[in-house]
Amino acid sequence: MRWVDLAVIVLYLIAITWFGSRFKKSQKTLKDYFLGGRTAPWWAIAFSIVSAETSTLTVIGTPALAFRGNFGFLQVVFGYLLARVVISVLFLPQYFRGEMYTAYELMQRRFGQRIRKFTAGTFLILRALAEGVRVFAVSLVISVVLGTGELVSIFVIVCLTLFYTFEGGMTAVIWTDVVQMILYVGGAVLSFFVILHQIPGGWNHVLQVAGPVHLFGPGKFQVFDFSFSWSRHFFETSYSFWAGIIGGCLLTTSSHGTDQLMVQRLLSARSESESRLALFASWIVIFFQFALFLVIGTLLFVHYRDAGRTAPVVLDRIYPDFIWHNLPTGVAGLIAAAILAAAMSNLSAALNSLSSTTIMDFVKPLSRVTHPESHYLKLARYSTVLWGAVLFVIGVFAQYYSHSVLEAGLAIASILYGGLLGVFLLGLLTRRPGENAAIIGMAAGLVATIVMQHYVAYTWYILVGASTTIVTGLIAGLFFPRTTYPEKH
């Protein structure tokens, strides 16, 4: 009866591609293509933020974290909330002064054209590498379902997502995100009840095996770890309260405040207040999602232990492998389609944000001839195709990375986020450093993070990079002060 599950998946892929491509008619300007014409309601943007923030790495990586550990990852999620406060106070007022298309226009306003290209170029590298890992993550799901190799799996998912992103732009991204988020959250809820039903003794037995629900441990449900020391071991631990709050806050401040993937959604809101509302509403859903997937990982731990089964060598396969081989016909197809939904929503957003940065921060400013809007709109679509090819290549090579796909994606992003966040804070919080000082500071932050990645956990990367960028930038500002002040907006 596998054909029923395959039919469900194929029907979903056809339906979501058709749905996204229907928005082509509304894409007449760059504002339409990159910002959805600023017509989307706040709740749709909130769902879109959730889709971009979670991705397939969350869907298959989070259960694996709980399977081998506990709920300590939620400490990082609390840091996400603190970051939203920082962004709403510090970043959003700046982004809604005038009409911006990308986050890096803010850097030109404060420092100059060169730092805009430096930060935009850093984003392109960061997003391409991180998204390549995510593309590989979904290939794990497709290879389980279809029995195909990773190469074919990556090709299929990139081509389908590329088609509707090419046609529908940011409007298609937001509204397909809404549909896909509902689907994969619904699929996770359904899988929770199905797995729990297959455990003899139900929830009471889960508590006996995994330990009581105690936030401070010990057991599978432990959330908080308040231990602290200045030893090297402490900074090699990813999920303590301090690493979670500080690392999670800095990670989200970077991703939602300086990464075009997220900033583009915030800029798509009708107003600053709706953008802020979407930002905080998204956290509520994010917290629920992570908690749900951690619980699913705990249920799988109990199920495997009771059955005396050995977990897969690649632990990230445990959730997709279980649903495909153990859930009822039709249900397995629905949940597999839900995981694909998470992948496609994130990939479509990445393609659109990479294209918007390429056109608005590089192509258009460097153009010596004034072209009509239709010319740049055509280039935006071609750029989307080009980045689809780049992500395909990176996804192919990502299969040789041996660590958790969730942690791999976060680690890659964190290496570059530190320098990005540092230079944004340097621009927003200081007045003296000039453009050369900002470039020197950001370069120092990137180098420091690359060096320190061998000594600290990824949750500390951004702190290292951002603090190094700010301190170096302030010192360099003594020798390269700001000489011009842009006009007020």
Across 273-287, 369-383, 418-432, least confident range: 369-383
For residue range 6-54, list pLDDT tens digits in order. Answer: 888 888 888 888 888 888 777 888 888 888 888 889 999 999 898 877 7
pLDDT at 159 (0 to 100): 87
452 belongs to a structural domain: no
18 belongs to a structural domain: yes
30 belongs to a structural domain: yes
Question: Which domain, by its residues, includes 392?
Answer: 2-397
Across 56-65, 202-211, 288-297, least confident range: 56-65
Contact assessment for residue 102 and residue 360, using Cβ atoms and an 8 Å cutoff: yes
**Distance between CA atoms of 111 and 81, rounded to whole angstroms?**
29
DSSP codes joined into one string, 48-110 = HHHHHHHHHHHHHHHHHHHHHS-STTHHHHHHHHHHHHHIIIIIHHHHTSS--SSTTHHHHHH
Contact assessment for residue 348 and residue 163, using Cβ atoms and an 8 Å cutoff: no
**For 281-296, b where at least 16 C-beta lie within 10 A, e where not — what string?**
bbbebbeebbbbbbbb
**Distance between CA atoms of 463 and 79, rounded to whole angstroms?**
13
What does DSSP assign to residue 239? -
Q: Which two tokens stand for residue 455?
A: 């000594």
For residue range 328-370, list pLDDT tens digits in order. Answer: 788 788 777 777 776 777 788 889 899 999 999 999 998 888 8
Residue 430: which residues within 8 A CB-CB, separation 6 or more? 473, 474, 477
- Cβ burial of 1 (10 Å; 0-12, 13-18, 19+) is exposed
pLDDT at 486 (0 to 100): 53
451 belongs to a structural domain: no
Residue 462 in this model has a pLDDT that exceeds 60? yes
Residue 386: which residues within 8 A CB-CB, separation 6 or more? none
For residue range 67-114, list pLDDT tens digits in order. Answer: 888 888 898 899 999 999 999 999 999 999 877 889 899 999 999 999
Three-state secondary structure of 364-431: HHHCCCCCCHHHHHHHHHHHHHHHHHHHHHHHHHHCCCCCCHHHHHHHHHHHHHHHHHHHHHHHHHCC
**DSSP H/E element including 441:** helix 435-452
Angle 274-279-285 (CA atoms, 0-180°, nearest 5)? Answer: 120
Phi, psi of 262 (to 5 degrees): -95, -40
For residue range 413-423, list pLDDT tens digits in order. Answer: 788 899 999 99
Residue 440 in this model has a pLDDT that exceeds 80? yes
CA distances from 162 to 25, 283, 469 (A): 17, 28, 36
How many residues make up the chain in this entry? 489
145 belongs to a structural domain: yes
367 belongs to a structural domain: yes
- 279 closest CA partner among 41, 38, 74, 42: 42
Contact assessment for residue 361 and residue 101, using Cβ atoms and an 8 Å cutoff: no
Terminal CA-CA length for the chain:
62
CATH number for the domain that contains residue 293: 1.20.1730.10
pLDDT at 232 (0 to 100): 45
pLDDT at 489 (0 to 100): 43
421 belongs to a structural domain: no
For residue range 210-259, list pLDDT tens digits in order. Answer: 877 655 556 788 888 887 655 445 454 556 788 888 888 998 999 899 98
Q: Which two tokens stand for residue 98?
A: 């005038």
CA distances from 418 to 62, 257, 326, 413 (A): 24, 12, 42, 9
Q: Which two tokens stand for residue 72?
A: 């300590």
429 belongs to a structural domain: no
Tally of domains within the chain? 1
